[in-house]
């Protein structure tokens, strides 16, 4: 069964304290892995798409990496405005639908 | 680029009435649009997928006669909640992609519509 698991459920960091969020997946043929950021009461905001193991993408303080079993979202020197829920989703080769993880709620304290 | 809008952003209605939510892709043509529902502190739940000019495909457990979806153009899809009841109160989010759904195209999301049925 295709499945996406995100960890931790919640993460509290001090401003400037770097860390990583994990997205583990099992899927029968990966078409793509997606990272989104969601603020309370808003729709998800697209961050990255990764297609194959070894691929990396960066945007400001965020860097996403992908292996055959998991993806990491590294956040470097975070700021309070990086506080949000980060969602991971995968698209299987057999189905265009996105399989979603439960998300990681990130809180950055000033 | 890749901006998706939704209207209204929030709506309050009486039980038994119908509510229409619009989803528009502002700067690209959306061959496929998706409608999601999100409960508090939970992830997104796909309700249905619609391709322009075709009937929507509903997920198991979603009543197609209650949640009417129309995707009449490449930039507009509508979700109508018919005879709404309090249990339909939720956060509804649409997304759009520029593929037919069979490729790696990214889904871009609207800001969501919060529905409260009294």
Give the H/E segment covering residue B55.
none
d(CA A56, CA A71): 10
Query: Please, how many CA atoms are within 13 Å of residue A99, restricted to the half-sphere of its CB?
Result: 23
Query: Using a CB-CB distance cutoff of 8 angstroms, which residues of chain B are in contact with residue A31?
Result: 103-104
Residue B42 touches partner A, C-beta closer than 8 Å: yes
Mean pLDDT across the stretch B112-116?
Answer: 97
d(CA A79, CA A32): 28
Q: Does pLDDT of B117 surpass 90?
A: yes
d(CA B10, CA B14): 14
Residue B100: pLDDT band (50, 70, 90) is low
Q: Does pLDDT of A35 surpass 60?
A: yes
- Alpha-carbon distance A52 to nearest alpha carbon in chain B (angstroms): 12
Measured distance between the N- and C-terminal CA atoms of chain B, rounded to whole angstroms: 37
Q: What is the pLDDT of residue A92?
A: 86
Comparing B2 with B17, the larger pLDDT belongs to B17
Residue B2: pLDDT band (50, 70, 90) is confident
Q: Encode pLDDT of B24-81 as tens digits.
A: 999 888 889 999 999 988 889 999 999 888 889 999 999 999 999 998 898 999 999 9
Q: What is the pLDDT of residue A97?
A: 82
- Alpha-carbon distance B77 to nearest alpha carbon in chain A (angstroms): 16
Spell out the residues 6+ positions from residue B29 whose beta carbon is closer than 8 angstroms to its own.
B74, B75, B98
* Residues of chain A above pLDDT 90, percent: 87
Q: Does pLDDT of A20 surpass 80?
A: yes
Does A98 contact B6 at a Cβ distance shorter than 8 Å?
Answer: no
Residue A78 touches partner B, C-beta closer than 8 Å: no
Q: Does pLDDT of B99 surpass 80?
A: no
Q: What is the pLDDT of residue B104?
A: 53
Report the b/e string of A6-44 with b at 16+ CB within 10 A: beeeebebeeeeeeebebebebeebbbbbbbbbeeebbb
Comparing B103 with A15, the larger pLDDT belongs to A15
Measured distance between the N- and C-terminal CA atoms of chain A, rounded to whole angstroms: 41
Q: Does pLDDT of A79 surpass 60?
A: yes
d(CA B8, CA B78): 11
By CB neighbour count within 10 A (0-12 exposed, 13-18 middle, 19+ buried), where does A81 fall? exposed
Alpha helix ranges (H) inside chain A: none
Q: Are the beta carbons of B7 and B22 closer than 8 angstroms? A: yes
Comparing B103 with B29, the larger pLDDT belongs to B29
């Amino acid at each position: 069964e295709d499945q996406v698991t995100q960890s931790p459920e919640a993460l509290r960091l001090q401003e400037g304290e770097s860390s990583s969020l994990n997205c583990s997946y099992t899927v029968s043929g990966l078409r793509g892995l997606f990272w989104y950021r969601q603020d309370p009461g808003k729709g998800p905001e697209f961050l990255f798409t990764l297609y194959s193991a070894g691929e990396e993408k960066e945007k400001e303080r965020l860097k996403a990496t992908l292996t055959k079993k998991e993806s990491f979202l590294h956040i470097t020197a975070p700021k309070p405005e990086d506080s949000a829920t980060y969602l991971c989703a995968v698209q299987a080769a057999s189905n265009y639908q996105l399989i979603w993880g439960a998300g990681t709620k990130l809180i950055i304290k000033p | 680029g890749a901006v998706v809008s939704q209207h209204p952003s929030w709506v309050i209605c009486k039980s038994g009435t119908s509510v229409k939510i619009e989803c528009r892709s502002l700067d690209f043509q959306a061959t496929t649009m998706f409608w999601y529902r999100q409960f508090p502190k939970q992830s997104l739940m796909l309700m249905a997928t619609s391709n322009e000019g075709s009937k929507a495909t509903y997920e198991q457990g979603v009543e197609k006669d209650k949640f009417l979806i129309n995707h009449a153009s490449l930039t507009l899809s509508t979700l109508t909640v018919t005879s709404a009841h309090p249990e339909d109160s939720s956060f509804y989010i649409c997304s759009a992609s520029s593929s037919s759904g069979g490729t790696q195209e990214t889904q871009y999301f609207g800001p969501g519509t919060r529905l409260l049925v009294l």
